[in-house]
A and B are shown apart, each in its own frame.
Chain A
Amino acid sequence: MIYDVVIAGAGVIGSMIARELTKYELTVCVLEKENDVSCGASKANSGIIHGGFDPEPDTLKAKLNVEGVEKLFDAAKQLNVSIIRNGSFVCAFSEDEEEHIKALYERGIKNGVKGMEILNGEQARKIEPNLSKNITLVLSVSTAGIICPYELTIAAIGNAMDNGAVLKTNFEINKIRIIKDLFSVYSNDGDNVKAKYFINCAGTYSDKIAGLIGDNSFEIICRAGEYMLLDKCEGGLISHTVFQVPSKEGKGILVTPTVDGNLLVGPTASLVETPDNKETTALGLEKVRNLAGRSVENINFRNVITSFAGVRSSEKNGDFIIEESKAGNNFFNVAAIDSPGLSSCVAIAEYTVSLLRRKGMCLVSNKNWNGNREDPHKFKKLSDDEKNKFISKNSDYGKIICRCENITEGEIRAAIKRNPPAKDLDGVKRRTRSGMGRCQGGFCGPAVMRIISEEMGIPMSEITKKGNKSKMISGRL
């Protein structure tokens, strides 16, 4: 078959564009090189919805961030993804930094950001008692918020699939042939997909994908950011997202509650050679620990439950690249989406579709489109009576598998069945939170492996942590 659109990359951008396209009578195929969606920067970032004061005025970043915030809140509501408008604080520690805060405020006004206010240290500490005593001035932005980025990505692609989009995982693109007006896309394994339009959302690999049609107009700079996630017992330390004054490398080390109630600190920003360089380093983690303690006091790092790194892609000009490639008719690059990419993702999707429309793509509304997706954590939120009804219909909901997060066998089985299906332990973890808690899968791991094996009809020896060769066991005794 020939698809109308093929999208390279099932990160938050590719997934949101896929969902946007299913609003129309179009056939859409998303190609993802990993075993699951949301495996790149979309799974390992701060999960912050930025107010929009940071990007330089008149850039795509400024426009799409400010436009994108409300659109994202609306989409998250439809998709039943937790989103909290907790507000953000940008903190200054010195006179120099106070000047910077004032400049950010001015820039925010230019960008059209609402809900900004400048507070002195004392006022800010009244709201956030654990804020450092050394903070002298704070830019408060009430429109900012937090979201779980992989949950959003999973929901977006899942909803796109519910509306007819096709997802092909383990499809690593190694060749694109342009035959007349068609893109013929080949995978490493010789699989082939044909489409009329190509949208390149390949994140840190987007320059290499563009290179496959001879487009060498941009080069992705990879920057790794390391994070530490703390137990829920630390989650109540602050309610706002607390930034320090940004530097050239990024928005600095932040301290934020997550939508799930944990505390997240990070990221560092170090240039890395390869996009796959997702290692944490002793130095990086040390830096996170030290700098986080600079803005928020009383963080107990004994309660760290995991640390991780994500690789962000940027480009030397500093702005998003969202345009048709000069090297290929109907080939669109949506690249260099670093911060505020998550905040802008819905706006980016709409903007991309508007470029397609301008190119003459015929967009007929899909009358059957349903933008709603059932909440994967619905069960947990039910009253006891409602839970009992659920359990009486399906007793799997009465078996708690993950004791840290109280996740039931029913929820895990559902995550393996629904769009996009979980196929490995990390996939189950991102969808259900089983294994996400303080024991990090120590107790539930073997049970989740058994459930995957039963649902997918594959032997235990085939169960992986994250696809390919990441096998969990080496054989039968």
Chain B
Amino acid sequence: MINHDIVVVGGGPAGMAAAIAAYDNGVRDVVILDREKNLGGILQQCIHNGFGLHKFGEELTGPEYANIYSKKVAERGIEVYNETTVTDISKEKIITATNSNGILKIKAKAVILAMGCRERSRGALNIAGTRPAGIYSAGTAQKLINCEGYSVGERVVILGSGDIGLIMARRMTLEGAKVEAVCELMSYSGGLTRNIVQCLNDFNIPLYLSTTVVEIHGEERLEGVTVAKVDSKNQILEDTKRYIPCDTLLLSVGLIPENELTRSIGIELNNITNGAEVNQNRQSNIDGVFACGNVLHVHDLVDYVSDESEIAGKSAAKYVNGQLSGGKEIDVKAENGIRYVLPQKINLENTEDIALLMRVDKPYDRVQITVKAGEVILANVKRIRAVPGEMEKIIIKKEGLVNICDSITVGLEEI
């Protein structure tokens, strides 16, 4: 058994930022366990730019953004176990991992979960039809194209207008493929507006809203898909069915936080975020276990992942140094029009200003979002437009949290 103060599980943007913050807040014995050869996680395959605008004021590519952090990790001498896969974490914070030297057992004082997320697969969608080659999740195609240098197909339909799907529509076009359609089940896109403009509109790729793939055709390689429009209850409108010939179907239909290890510790997951429930320090209901980044909830931008992970890293350092214990916790609840709020709990001990992160449940024009404790208004913001694809952030001041004994609620009203 090896002992470490802080073990960070995952070496993507979340894990790196958390490890650096933990180190910078006074804990020297921090290690990162990562399954890949190089740090950076999914950023390594995101060769497009647009990362870092908030954090560094410039547009970086994924690998460039990752390099800033991996350099900082190296400068601090933070130990990284590469090509090491964690297979279990116990309640006692004993981590079991496998690499080419064998099975490792590490006992940690604090654990930071930063495993990221995975893409929803075709199977989870239950699309009817055959099971040919040529159906990829957008991220898998991205990896094959950007990291391995292979083209995955020539005539493409993309289901789902999440950001990876939009990015891949442009990427496939640039590599000479014809993107016939991007279909989105919802009546609005889940992707960032800037991606719709830069990845679809600029290349004349049609986006069909309230439209989905209802059947897959082809025995060996994909030959085509049937698409159809859906009504407001997502029921398929039979007379709108049409066939689109294609050899490739990319799926960008949602990301699922990868929380199997979180479950193995015994942490229950929130059924909206599919991640752990945490307080503002990103500490879960198990003392000394923290979570950050897309394993906690899926973020829009890597910049926000870094921000959140710095909180987790700093808090883990405090925990190891005995500065984070006890304190009363209250619930933060999402109400009217708000799908979820994170953190789900606030610890009232020694708190600082807190950023509440949230998503609305559908697109709204002109809304007011209010944070309340009972009848007391803690914060109140107005938005001309609010969409589920763009996370909202509301700061509540630490002064407002004095004398609160009840739960906090967040809700919106149209104005």
Contacts and interface: CB of A to CB of B under 8 A. Distances in A.
Interface of A: 228-229, 233, 276, 278-282, 284-285, 304-308, 384, 387-388, 391-392, 395-396, 398-400, 403-404, 406, 408, 438-443, 445-446, 450, 460-461, 464-477
A365 B148 CA distance: 52
A475 B150 contact: yes
Given A399-B83, A400-B35, A476 B149 contact: yes
Contacts of A308: 131
Main secondary structure of the interface of A (DSSP, over half): mixed
A146 to B, nearest CB: 21
Interface in B139-153: 139-140, 143-145, 147-153
Given A276-B219, A306-B123, A443-B118, A470 B140 contact: no
Contacts of B219: 276
B140 A465 contact: no
A301 B154 CA distance: 34
26 contacts: A279-B128, A279-B130, A280-B128, A280-B129, A395-B101, A399-B83, A399-B99, A406-B85, A408-B98, A438-B118, A438-B121, A439-B118, A439-B119, A439-B121, A442-B119, A442-B140, A450-B148, A464-B220, A465-B220, A467-B220, A471-B221, A473-B151, A474-B153, A474-B247, A476-B149, A477-B175
Contacts of A408: 98
B123 A475 contact: no
A445 B150 CA distance: 13
A392 B150 CA distance: 34
A471 B85 contact: no
Interface string B24-50: 000000000001000000000000000
Q: Is the interface of B mostly helix, strand, loop or mixed?
A: mixed
B214 interface: yes
B326 interface: no
A286 to B, nearest CB: 9
B122 A282 contact: no
Given A276-B219, A470-B221, A477-B145, A399 B100 contact: yes
Contact of A305 (B103, B105, B121, B131): B121
A442 B96 CA distance: 24
A361 B375 CA distance: 92
A278 B131 contact: yes
Interface in B215-237: 215, 219-221, 236
A469 B133 CA distance: 9
Nearest to B247: A474
B236 to A, nearest CB: 8
A25 B219 CA distance: 40
A217 to B, nearest CB: 30
Contact of A398 (B99, B124, B147): B99
Contacts of B363: none
B88 to A, nearest CB: 10
B57 interface: no
B87 interface: yes
Nearest to B153: A474
A200 B172 CA distance: 47
Given A395-B101, A441-B121, A477-B175, 9 more contacts: A282-B215, A285-B128, A306-B122, A400-B35, A442-B140, A450-B148, A472-B133, A472-B152, A475-B151
Contacts of B85: 400, 403, 406
B47 to A, nearest CB: 12
A400 B98 contact: yes
A88 B83 CA distance: 43
Contacts of B139: 442
B245 interface: no
Contact of B144 (A276, A399, A473): A473
Interface string B110-141: 00000000110111101011111110110110
Given A398-B98, A400-B87, A442-B137, A477 B150 contact: yes
B95 to A, nearest CB: 13
Contacts of B322: none
A474 B144 contact: no
Nearest to B102: A388
A223 B137 CA distance: 31
